Structure 1
Amino acid sequence: MTTSSDSVDIRRHAGWLPEQGDLEDWLAELCQRVESRGEQPLHPVVAEFKDLIDVDPLVRMYLNEMISQVPKNRRYEKRYVQDVPHLLALINEVMTMAPQFGDSMVMTPLGAILDWTMSTPAGFAAYRDRRINAMLKKLLNAWCEFLDSPASLSVLNDSPTGWMSEAARSTIKIEQFEHDPDQEHWGFRSWNDFFTRRFKEDARPVAAPEDESVIVSACESKPYGISVNVQKQDRFWIKNQPYSLQDMLANDESVEEFVGGTVYQAFLSATNYHRWHSPVAGKIVKAFNVEGTYYSEADSEGAAAAEPAISQSYLAHVATRAIILIEADNPKIGLMAVVEVGMADVSSCVIRPGLRPGSHVTKGEELGHFQFGGSTYCLVFRPGVVADFAVDAVPQPHDPAAPQVLVRSKLATVRDEPHEEHPAHQH
């Protein structure tokens, strides 16, 4: 087990953005396309962003400075984003662009444009600014509307960059998912419909469905970190990014129950299944969304802050997220929390309609889903609940070939005997 700061370049390994050279090729092509098209009418939300920049001197300062500050940790061949008008033109272009498949994928176009600005001094401040985050939310919601439309299906084809190509089919293992191979676009209605595709009935069985001592994985994901004796309030912005329950759970009154408990965190790759499932059987106590940041990174990580995956513990406290509190049927588990965190372009955390306080969920039942790209999630347990984690659930950050934890597979076992508390310790 390891702290997140020891992690390798998870974001690119997970397929959220390509390797540096491929990213620059993509940016160069986008810049060339924007230049060749000349001045275009701005999408209404991009025009609103422009108006904010024009009238707010601090927002204007942040954006101009972050574009001018070339990061020392990443050697770009040139400054692809020239100035604020150029930035707006590039954003305008991707508002009607669905993610394409590739061996080195650009899953999140807006994130690719903003990539190196996130780790500049001005970028650290800009992406924590409430005014800028409000506009980013509007931009991402508008992009989501496009991804919900039939026009976004243009990337579901069998070309080399299409999601129906042989390479893409192999990568996403489409045979495990519900789809109609005889229909155009496999029967999907939009990019988001394809992205949130469901597994076939028997593809991911629930581990030990009748055994309340077995906790299952909430997402198809790779382990990121396990921390024990987590504090109510901690400095999550420092180098080792400890978990701070009060901040992560958005000051919910349940926080006291989890002080001294355990947090398990895992990340979802861009091509993963992106629906969430209940790790236990129990009653829904609360299910709510929390507004947060979209491209903020942990500047305590220094050069590594350019990679959102390195900032995952930090993002669990500040990013847009869904929080679901479940009172488990097993009294030895009691109250637990599922925290689904939207990273970067992944701003849409959709709680399943009908998931209300008082409703009962079975182990493995669907809770909601992400839209857009890769993300991360946390499970929060009270002190002494977890006896041990499954071998595959133990983080192996330096092994790119480490096994993935399948959704609804065994994640952990509940402790039978009372647990003696130990001093604060973080893995």
Structure 2
Amino acid sequence: MIGRRRIMIAVGALATVGLALSGCAAGGSDAGGGKTKVSLLVNVTPNLTEEWWNSLVAPFEKAHPDIDVVIQNPGAEGVAAAVPRLLAAGDAPDVVESLPPTTTLAPELLDLSKYDWASKGPLADQYTIDGKNYMAGIGMQLQSLWFYNKDAFAAAGIAETPTTVEEFSDDLAKLKKAGWTPIQTGGDWMSSYALQTVGLPSVIAEHPDWYAKMTKGSLTFSKTYGDAVDTYADWIAKGYVNDDALGIKYPDAEQNFLAGKSALYPMGSWFVASEAAAKDPAKIGVFRAPAFDGVDKPAMGANIASPYVIMRDAKHVDAAAKLVEYLVTDKAAILDQLKVDGNYRAGYEYDMDDLGKELLKIVADTPDASYTPTGQGYGQRTLPDGYSTEINAQTQALLGGTSAADVNKAMDAWFSANTK
């Protein structure tokens, strides 16, 4: 899958809001003074601190003095690991944030379809399961993106960003000739990021039901993704990708690009926050990943930003729904959440630099129908378990010299062994 710094499972982390009766340590409870106690299990990071989460819900508590929101920190194990453990122990919170619903998790979640704020929110249709809405989010993380060094493009005589993969290949040749390392990538989860950024816009545009058909075995990897593998293998062979990619960690790859040591960097929209925080970064722009020549309306890989779900066994559903509604509809709350993690939503512009504004324009110009899952997928648009690990391993093999033909053959074999 296309990874990100906080999500190795295809999308973010998880948060939960628990509503239970007094005396329940993890779930919600009735707090002293007649207050309904709602626990919110959240993804805690250096920027998403417990203090920040408490400040986020403070206006809600002020407007609802009968509800007390208790922030839960999952600690080192993270929310994604904490929720299954809590479910197994019968001690799960009532609302979960940042790990989108799956067919496995859906039986544990409350159907939110009756709420307009869930059924009409960002990417709501893409995340449905059996036609039901189990989550509500605040915006999007775009993933089919290429960030580029504007000085490198100018030095190579490239006046416009590419609109097809074929034009992109020509531009890479110009950058190489001008003395630049064209593409900066790295090892670990980053390995397959560029490959998927090359392939997904065309694959999904040509096969909107690609996830379902791949899972059923009615399409093959080599027939759909093969051109992208061939192209990326050609780029590697021509030296368009940094030759030490497999030994480069994500933070180092990011810093290399920020410092102007490479011309292009395939990464998700969260990179904008890193660029904004960097001291004296290179002059950087961004463009959406193009499709192959002849493919209309390229797909745009995207994940929901901060999805919230309510657990099926929530004891105070109305209070939980009020909290989630606030988090996904209150403009100030949405802007706070978008800004802190570098996420985007059309019509919601916070204080951002020029790169952020370029990306916001991409969001505004992208039709909802163009958005697609990345990697292993989400909702009902998913691939067999283990796909993300396999595509990453095979891309690492490609970087190590394995032929495109062998990689396509290996991926076909993997799907044959793992489809229904």
| TM-score interval, smaller chain | under 0.3
Please give the TM-score of this superposition, normalised by the length of structure 1: 0.24
Greater strand proportion: 1
Please give the TM-score of this superposition, normalised by the length of structure 2: 0.24
Greater helix proportion: 2
**RCO higher in structure (CA 8 A, sep ≥6):** 2
